[in-house]
Amino acid sequence: MKTATLRPSAGTSAGDLLFEPAPRAGVLLPLALAGAYDYKLPKGTNASRGLLVSTPLGPRDYLGVVWGAAEGAVGDNRLKEATPLEGFPALPSNLCDFVDWVAQYTLSPPGMILSMVLRSARAFDPPVLRVAYARSGVTPARVTPARERALAVADDGLARSVPGLAQEANVSSGVVRGLIECGALAETTLPEFAAFPQPDAESAAAELNAAQRAAADALIADVRAQKFAVALLDGVTGSGKTEVYFEAVAEALRRGKQVLILLPEIALTVQFLERFAARFGCRPAEWHSDLSAKERTRTYRAVMSGEAQVVVGARSSLFLPYRELGLIVVDEEHEQAYKQEDGIIYHARDMAVVRARSEKCPIVLASATPSLESYVNAVSGRYAHLKLPRRHGAAVLPETRLVDLRHEKVEAGTWLSQPLRDAIAATLAAGEQAMLFLNRRGYAPMTLCQSCGHKMTCRDCSSWLVEHRYRKRLMCHQCGYETGLPTKCPACEAEGTLIACGPGVERVAEEFAAVFPDARVAIASSDTMHGPQETQAAIRAMAKHEIDVLIGTQIVAKGHHFPQLTLVGVIDADLGGSDGDLRARERTFQLLHQVAGRAGRAEKPGLVLMQTRNPGDMVMKALASGDRDSFYEQERQYRERAAAPPFGRLAAVIVSGADSEAVVEAGKMLAKAAPAAKGVKIWGPTPAFYHLLRGMTRERLLVQAERGIDVQAYLREWLSAVKLSNKVRIAVDVDPVSFF
């Protein structure tokens, strides 16, 4: 029955309605609005939470989601109508709950979290069906040899496009059209996209060792129980963490559940996809920013329908509308790349735990160097602590030696000490591979005028310009600003006085090539010169032993498995150690431990040389002795004494704007307006580490609170009480991990 568009008039009493009032609902739009808006829905709509609706707002229609009951008392005649989207299932209500939770935790408008869920806008376009032709059963009156060939191919019953069949049968498309005209081929449709292959749980399981078996069994039990549980899979590099969680993935597949595997960086996915295929017989679905729009649509729909059973992706894959998640894995869970620092500021590892809770499924956090937060949770028993203390098979952990740069004289402008050069020479002579690690892109981190001392800085940021010599450019690594290398100092105008200070990977590569002219070497770093393609190529070449030495930034530190790599040289182990930030020690330890862990992963033992000026530092000592747990224990005690996370809570408020006076003023106003509360301290405002970033002045305030305090409630009360100039922007970073 077609429903009339009559609305009850003001005079109609509820009792004698011929036409029931249209249902109404609060609809959430993927926009930065305070909450859901009321809409009316077509009669007979079952307005349940999660229903996708096309929603008019202003001049256009948005994709919206029914979020809850309508709130306002506005009459139907003043409400606009939202129409349910045909052909798509509703968002699962636990996903809606997750959106609300993340919004409230990060102090973000819920619509902005929803926009991360609905990110693939084209996925909701009506599916496009492709026209195809299949054998009809009709025999053509006239059969030529060409027609015969085409029919022979089509006799398998599959549907093909006209050019597809023509090509396969080696006939002209005219022949195929002739067969259509005489009715021998009938029109049908093909889905828009090819189906995803289904991973096979039993394809090629590894024979696990005892420690691996115990860990895998614990995870499998979690998957079977189908309830929320967190496990820290804490295993040394090369202990087989991946093999272990693959067993849990297999169990989820047997139960027909979906699995999400989060990786910190796209650069890690290529090797991982191949490894997954070796275990499960096909590649999983991928989700990251490098996908084409078409691939995004295909993957998004397959995730929603449940056809994509395993998704491997970067942090944004956490917000996909899985039909039925049975397991989440966060690999390299300590990685800072899981923290999204702009737009919605959130930590994907922490939010993954929240998502697992709302999906009632287990989650595995895997790392050789867990975050201190996860370590404390595991040691205290809140998370299951699954340990793999040894490398698999014959492989042993590498020996780490410190090279004391205070005693080893290194010529000015060079960075490879004699012990490191000797070790490289020995490795090359043995036909093995080496990796040199320096966490600095480009040629030199700073360019200085020898005459006046002027340092080349970015136009828009308070950061040095980094020389990229291959490109003959100076670049800002904060905002991407670049300029040619000037011939004169811009400050004192002296000619030819600008010199490169300090090393980047390009400069180390230059020195390396001078010392070892015959070695095959490649650079892997994440900048535009050595973009993702080239980095992937370098990593693949390393894995296949097509190069001898890989020189790289942190992009080479993680996850990779190079069986012939026996020497790792750390050019400057002190980088990033002394900037006074809460996590500097933890981060340095994790990064260097990961880098070291690349050495000796197969039969041949590995050696790690770390060049340092602080051999007595607690981080250096822990790395050299291999005593990880005593490092964690010291760090834990230090944090506990300082009431720092996870023993206390932090939130940063960053004020920014183009008008520096307004920013400074707003910072002061905020500090003054901070409500007094027991157990809460406010620090600042102070200039942020990058006081100027992309032309914006930035001031920071820090909230430090005791563990039990509802920091979000405090922040909400505080920020809503202050009326700030519209020249400034406020960003809230709950649980900050960096302090830039």
371 belongs to the binding site for ligand ADP (CB under 6 A): no
CB of 237 to ligand ADP, least distance (A): 5
Whether a cis peptide bond, with omega within 30° of 0, leads into 685 is yes
CB of 697 to Zn ion, least distance (A): 13
Q: Which of 240, 264, 398, 442 binds ligand ADP (CB under 6 A)?
A: 240
Q: Which of 45, 242, 447, 590 binds ligand ADP (CB under 6 A)?
A: 242
206 belongs to the binding site for ligand ADP (CB under 6 A): yes
Are 511 and 424 contacting, i.e. CB atoms less than 8 angstroms apart? no
Q: Which of 12, 83, 209, 536 binds ligand ADP (CB under 6 A)?
A: 209
Burial category of 519 from C-beta neighbours within 10 Å (exposed 0-12, middle 13-18, buried 19 and up): middle
Q: How far apart are CA 83 and CA 80, in angstroms?
A: 10
**Do the bridges between strand 521-524 and strand 466-468 make them parallel or antiparallel, or are there none, so unpaired?**
unpaired
Q: Which is nearer to ligand ADP, 333 or 527 (CB)?
A: 333
Q: Which of 218, 232, 461, 596 binds Zn ion (CB under 5 A)?
A: 461
Q: Which is nearer to ligand ADP, 208 or 489 (CB)?
A: 208
458 belongs to the binding site for Zn ion (CB under 5 A): yes
CB of 89 to ligand ADP, least distance (A): 35
Question: Could you give phi then psi for residue 633, rounded to 5 degrees?
Answer: -65, -45
Q: Which is nearer to ligand ADP, 111 or 235 (CB)?
A: 235
Site for ligand ADP in 382-411 (CB under 6 A): 392
Provide the 8-state DSSP code for 315. G
Q: Which two tokens stand for residue 624?
A: 């050299």
Instruction: Spell out the residues 6+ positions from residue 169 whose beta carbon is closer than 8 angstroms to its own.
Output: 146, 149, 150, 152, 153, 154, 175, 176
Total residues contacting Zn ion by CB under 5 A comes to: 7
237 belongs to the binding site for ligand ADP (CB under 6 A): yes
CA angle, 62 then 63 then 65, to 5°: 125
- Residue 445's binding partner, choosing from ligand ADP, Zn ion, none, with beta-carbon cut-off 5 to 8 A by kind? none
For residue 700, give the nearest of 684, 713, 712, 677 by alpha carbon: 684
Q: Which of 119, 561, 716, 729 binds ligand ADP (CB under 6 A)?
A: 561
476 belongs to the binding site for Zn ion (CB under 5 A): yes
> Which string of x and - marks every residue 94-113 that binds Zn ion (by CB under 5 A)?
--------------------
Q: How far apart are CA 47 and CA 40, in angstroms?
A: 10
Are 729 and 723 contacting, i.e. CB atoms less than 8 angstroms apart? no
Q: Which two tokens stand for residue 642?
A: 């300082």
Are 108 and 343 contacting, i.e. CB atoms less than 8 angstroms apart? no
Q: How many CB atoms lie within 10 A of CB 470?
A: 12
CB of 483 to Zn ion, least distance (A): 11
- Residue 296's binding partner, choosing from Zn ion, ligand ADP, none, with beta-carbon cut-off 5 to 8 A by kind? none
For residue 735, give the nearest of 617, 559, 582, 578 by alpha carbon: 582
- Residue 458's binding partner, choosing from Zn ion, ligand ADP, none, with beta-carbon cut-off 5 to 8 A by kind? Zn ion
For residue 337, give the nearest of 289, 291, 277 by alpha carbon: 289
CB of 246 to ligand ADP, least distance (A): 8
740 belongs to the binding site for Zn ion (CB under 5 A): no
Site for Zn ion in 268-287 (CB under 5 A): none
For residue 320, give the nearest of 246, 277, 261, 393 by alpha carbon: 261
503 belongs to the binding site for ligand ADP (CB under 6 A): no
CB of 458 to Zn ion, least distance (A): 3
Q: How many CB atoms lie within 10 A of CB 422?
A: 11
DSSP, collapsed to helix, strand or coil, labels residue 664 as helix
CB of 456 to Zn ion, least distance (A): 12
- Residue 224's binding partner, choosing from Zn ion, ligand ADP, none, with beta-carbon cut-off 5 to 8 A by kind? none
For residue 501, give the nearest of 397, 413, 396, 380 by alpha carbon: 413
- Residue 243's binding partner, choosing from ligand ADP, Zn ion, none, with beta-carbon cut-off 5 to 8 A by kind? ligand ADP
Q: How far apart are CA 564 and CA 674, in angstroms?
A: 57
- Residue 242's binding partner, choosing from Zn ion, ligand ADP, none, with beta-carbon cut-off 5 to 8 A by kind? ligand ADP
208 belongs to the binding site for ligand ADP (CB under 6 A): yes
What residue type is 215 in one-letter code? A
Q: Which of 217, 295, 307, 460 binds Zn ion (CB under 5 A)?
A: 460
Q: How far apart are CA 423 and CA 569, in angstroms?
A: 9
345 belongs to the binding site for ligand ADP (CB under 6 A): no
271 belongs to the binding site for ligand ADP (CB under 6 A): no
- Residue 241's binding partner, choosing from Zn ion, ligand ADP, none, with beta-carbon cut-off 5 to 8 A by kind? ligand ADP
Binding residues vs ligand ADP (CB under 6 A)? 206-209, 212, 235, 237-243, 392, 561
